[in-house]
Amino acid sequence: MQKRSPQTLAILMGIGVAMLATPGMAQTGGTAKGAAALKGSRFITLGTTAGPLPRKDRAQASNLLIVNGTNYLIDAGDGATRRIVQAGINFLQVGTIFITHNHSDHMAGLATLLNAQWEYSRRQPTNVYGPPGTQRVVEAAIAYFTVNAEIRSTEGKTSPRSNLFIGHDVGVGPIYADANIKVTAVENTHFNIAKDSPLHGKHKSYSYRFQTPDRVIVFTGDTGPSEAVTQLATGADVLVSEVLDAEEIKQRRIRSGNWDHLSAAEQAAFMAHLIDEHVTPEEVGKMAAKAGVKTLVLTHLPTTGKDNDDYKRYVDKVGKYYKGPVFVASDLMRF
Ligand SMILES: [Zn+2]
Ligand SMILES: [Zn+2]
């Protein structure tokens, strides 16, 4: 939203239409270096697609929050490192990372980022915070590049990696604080694992609230309807929410002939996953209205098979319940 005149913003708000920006347009907000040097908070949507399906126009889930010039990465889906560079940010200066949950579309790009930092001689530790399992993921990211590191050692790259990249399994409540931010986590409803499964309670999905000196920004990560997330978002300046229209996805599968061959039980399980573990535009609208957030950003946008889908229909459905400004994210938008 930076550099938009109040008038432009008022128009956007007035008609309730999401601001759509190409990566090129996103650059009009000024260089990231300039933004990073400013006091206060900036936030950039690095990757905005939902799920692991590779997509030509959107990277996987990732957001960068910059507070008083310090970078904080929220999720690191595939493509995150390239988008960081495209945003004009020095990837060596991304030292604090928060993972909402360990689905691949939220951390598949982590190993790439950490390895690039090692290859180009980052010396300070990079800390990665997330739900149980995050420490294992970081150790695995190190392991993934061990063969490479052996080969690179013959080229003079010998600095150790195990004390450079540190994973932290964190609980809920206040999980992190420094001079710029305070971070609070809640467990959301994205992992609706059956109670009789041995995995029940083992894996958790978090939403994060970032208190910065000038704004409160809440990231839902992936979630189903959740009172805990609504409470977490209370009064936030910006709510960055996932969104998914289950019925739309079902209809698309029917049209593409990828539905009837499923058994009734498979169809029911698939729909239960979409309905229980994600939120519809209407549910996002209700949550944003109840929480009283000042601005809503829709991200984690499902593939719909349409190029340049503007997702305006989501904004219309959100608008039935939430009357504040709604933005549909694209990669490299700045707020
Ligand atoms: Zn996801
Ligand atoms: Zn997920």
Residue with tokens 């970081």: 138
Burial of 6 (0-12, 13-18, 19+ CB in 10 A): exposed
Q: What is the pLDDT of residue 305?
A: 79
- The b/e string for 74-104 (b: 16+ C-beta within 10 A; e otherwise) is bbbbbbbbbbbebbbbebeebbbbbbbbbbe
Instruction: Report whether pLDDT(162) > 70.
Output: yes
pTM of the model: 0.89
Least confident segment among 126-130, 137-141, 193-197: 193-197
Domain 6-244+279-334 in CATH: superfamily? Ribonuclease Z/Hydroxyacylglutathione hydrolase-like (3.60.15.10)
Burial of 156 (0-12, 13-18, 19+ CB in 10 A): exposed
Could you read off the pLDDT of 54-112 as tens digits, one per residue?
A: 999 999 999 999 999 999 999 999 999 999 999 999 999 999 999 999 999 999 999 99
Residue 46 corresponds to which amino acid? L
Could you read off the pLDDT of 228-282 as tens digits, one per residue?
A: 999 999 999 999 999 999 999 999 899 989 999 999 999 999 999 999 999 999 9
Could you read off the pLDDT of 163-208 as tens digits, one per residue?
A: 999 999 999 999 999 999 999 999 999 998 889 999 999 999 999 9
Q: How far is the CA of 39 from the centre of ligand 1 (A)?
A: 31
CB-based contact 105:52 (threshold 8 Å) = yes
Q: What is the pLDDT of residue 304?
A: 86
Sketch the domain layout of the chain as residue ranges. 6-244+279-334
Q: How far is the CA of 31 from the centre of ligand 2 (A)?
A: 31
**Chain center to CA of 82:** 15
Strands (E), the chain: 41-47, 62-67, 70-74, 96-98, 126-130, 165-169, 173-177, 182-187, 206-211, 216-219, 238-242, 295-299, 326-328, 333-334
Nearest listed ligand to the Cα of residue 277? 2
Nearest listed ligand to the Cα of residue 103? 2
Instruction: Report whether pLDDT(18) > 70.
Output: no
Q: What is the pLDDT of residue 33?
A: 46
Q: What is the pLDDT of residue 308?
A: 82
**Chain center to CA of 335:** 14
Confidence of residue 4 (pLDDT cuts 50, 70, 90): very low
Q: How far is the CA of 275 from the centre of ligand 2 (A)?
A: 13
Q: Which two tokens stand for residue 133?
A: 């399992």
Nearest listed ligand to the Cα of residue 77? 1
Residue 31 has a CB neighbour count (10 Å cut-off) of: 11
Q: How far is the CA of 302 from the centre of ligand 2 (A)?
A: 12
Q: What is the pLDDT of residue 31?
A: 40
Could you read off the pLDDT of 111-127 as tens digits, one per residue?
A: 999 999 999 999 999 99
Q: What is the pLDDT of residue 19?
A: 37
Nearest listed ligand to the Cα of residue 190? 2
Q: What is the pLDDT of residue 99?
A: 99
Kind of pairing between the strands at 165-169 and 173-177: unpaired
Q: How far is the CA of 166 from the centre of ligand 2 (A)?
A: 23
Beta-ladder partners of 65? 43, 72
Q: How far is the CA of 223 from the centre of ligand 1 (A)?
A: 9
Q: What is the pLDDT of residue 311?
A: 96
Nearest listed ligand to the Cα of residue 51? 1
Confidence of residue 39 (pLDDT cuts 50, 70, 90): confident
The dihedral through the CA atoms of 34, 70, 212, 325 has a sign that is: positive
Q: How far is the CA of 14 from the centre of ligand 1 (A)?
A: 31
Nearest listed ligand to the Cα of residue 50? 1
Confidence of residue 38 (pLDDT cuts 50, 70, 90): low
d(CA 102, CA 137) in angstroms, rounded, equals 8
Q: How far is the CA of 280 from the centre of ligand 2 (A)?
A: 15
Q: Which two tokens stand for residue 47?
A: 């990757």
SS (H, E, C) 294-335: CEEEEECECCCCCCCCCCHHHHHHHCCCCCCCEEECCCCEEC
CB-based contact 312:304 (threshold 8 Å) = no
Mean pLDDT, rounded, for 214-223: 98
Q: How far is the CA of 104 from the centre of ligand 2 (A)?
A: 8
Q: How far is the CA of 64 from the centre of ligand 2 (A)?
A: 18
Q: How far is the CA of 100 from the centre of ligand 2 (A)?
A: 9
